[in-house]
Amino acid sequence: MGPLNGLKVLDLTRVLAGPYCTMLLGDLGAEIIKIEVPVKGDDSRHFGPYQHGESAYFMSLNRNKKSVTLNLKTEKGKEILKSFIKQVDVIVENFRPGTMEKLGLGYDVLKEINPAIIYAAASGFGHTGPYSKRPAYDGVVQAMGGIMSITGQEGGEPTRVGPSIGDIGAGLFTAIGVLAALNHRNETGVGQKVDVAMLDCQVAMLENAIARYVVTGSVPKPSGNKHASIVPFEPFHTSDSQIVVAVGNDQIWKRFCQVADLEDIMALEKFATNPERHNHYQELRPKIAEKMKEKTTKEWQKILDDAGVPNGPINHIDEVLEDAQVKARDMIIEVEHPKAGKLKMPGVAIKLSETPGEIHSPAPILGEHSSEMLKKFLNYTDEEIEALHAEGVL
């Protein structure tokens, strides 16, 4: 059933940031009514790869949802949406700011219909500020938010982070905003607007880059795989692959040196503390790198695990799917889709002891639940629904 059981969410989102947010809410038990454009549907239905004609991209982001087609450019479509607003708790959209207002469906209109509504809007630059109306995608906000400027090999070109963290970060922050607004509503009965910008989220995730610049005046640059301020904290080549060693404090450094046969450098003052190791990085790294090549990755894993030194191999995606810990935590699950068949996808990352989330249904076929939802929430008859199809409203 999930901790959000009973929560009703109207999902007007498409592609990634918004669908990721509503997927999280659906995984935790909310009923997600996904509103899609008739015939075409969510843009991501047309993104590969495909399995039996169905987009795996779309299916991986839209599980636990019910699809209703609705043409919001028609007056009847708008009236149906407004009728839904009376019945739901949350509406989520990720249109460019101003789009919903042009349709006559902005927050100021919808809150008059349902003052308790939580209206969540995820967009590239937010609903205020000079960039508000500009379009954006993940790569744009990764570039503008500074993350690309500190990612990549030392001395190399700024590099986009592999996963679409511009979108995913906004999806996560939007879900948090919805839950915060719901808590406030539970206390006061009053809804509110949640305005999340992808660019804001990128700035919020810069971690220590801003702190380093503000304190030192030096503009952070790409530094490869090493940590900007902790040493050693990076991958090393072994005799057969690579392993990441993360020496997060001086006690771990001592344990690492003891088991890695580096006791001769452990006591040296220039390596004894993290600030000193950082200052003498160019001298220290080759000493560690030479030692790490003496054993295989698996041998080092056993040695370092036994010593309590954080470490891990650099897994490729196929290895991630077969990892024992990932499997034990149900982080790769198989969902059966009526057209595409079985598809593996990430599981629910939030583990709750009393009300666990779950994946109870695959991504919907376009318009699969139009009749069901119109009957359940708005008491439409079969004849009325047929007429709406004929008019191009559904």
Sorted by where each starts, the structural domains of the chain and their CATH numbers stand as 8-205+325-390 (3.40.50.10540), 233-237+242-313 (3.30.1540.10)
- Letter string b/e over residues 4-22, b meaning 16 or more CB atoms within 10 A of that residue's CB: beebbbbbbbbbbbbbbbb
The DSSP letter of residue 89 is S
- Alpha-carbon distance 272 to 341, whole Å? 57
Instruction: Answer yes or no: is pLDDT of 90 > 90.
Output: yes
Confidence at residue 8, expressed as pLDDT on a 0 to 100 scale: 98
Mean pLDDT score, 90-110: 97
Element (H, E) at 32: strand 31-36
Q: What mean pLDDT, rounded, does the chain reach?
A: 97
Confidence at residue 152, expressed as pLDDT on a 0 to 100 scale: 95
Confidence at residue 336, expressed as pLDDT on a 0 to 100 scale: 97
Confidence at residue 45, expressed as pLDDT on a 0 to 100 scale: 98
Instruction: Answer yes or no: is pLDDT of 1 > 90.
Output: no
The predicted-structure confidence for 150-196, as pLDDT tens digits, reads as follows 999 999 999 999 999 999 999 999 999 999 999 999 999 999 999 99
The predicted-structure confidence for 350-375, as pLDDT tens digits, reads as follows 999 999 999 999 999 999 999 999 99
Listed residue (42, 118, 106) closest to 78, CA to CA: 106
- For the whole prediction, is pTM greater than 0.75? yes
Does 42 qualify as catalytic in the annotation?
no
Residue 97 banded pLDDT, cuts 50, 70, 90: very high
Instruction: Answer yes or no: is pLDDT of 280 > 90.
Output: yes
Kindly state the percentage of the chain with pLDDT values over 90. Answer: 98
Lookup result for tokens 């989330």 = 357
- Alpha-carbon distance 340 to 235, whole Å? 39
The predicted-structure confidence for 293-338, as pLDDT tens digits, reads as follows 999 999 999 999 999 999 999 999 999 999 999 999 999 999 999 9
- Alpha-carbon distance 140 to 161, whole Å? 12
Candidate list 11, 27, 89, 167, residue with the active-site label: 167
- Letter string b/e over residues 218-248, b meaning 16 or more CB atoms within 10 A of that residue's CB: eebebbeebeeeebbbbbbebeeeebebbbe
What 3-state class would DSSP assign to 29? Answer: coil
> Beta strand pairing status for 31-36 and 65-69?
parallel
Long-range contacts of range 331-337, CB-CB < 8 Å, 24 or more positions apart? 333/359, 335/59, 335/63, 335/359, 335/362, 336/362, 337/51, 337/54, 337/59, 337/362, 337/363
Instruction: Answer yes or no: is pLDDT of 267 > 90.
Output: no
**How open is the CA angle 315-210-166, to the nearest 5 degrees?**
50
Instruction: Answer yes or no: is pLDDT of 79 > 90.
Output: yes
Element (H, E) at 182: helix 165-188
Distances (CA, A) of 135 to 102, 124, 132, 363: 16, 6, 8, 27
What 3-state class would DSSP assign to 319? Answer: helix
- Alpha-carbon distance 164 to 181, whole Å? 26
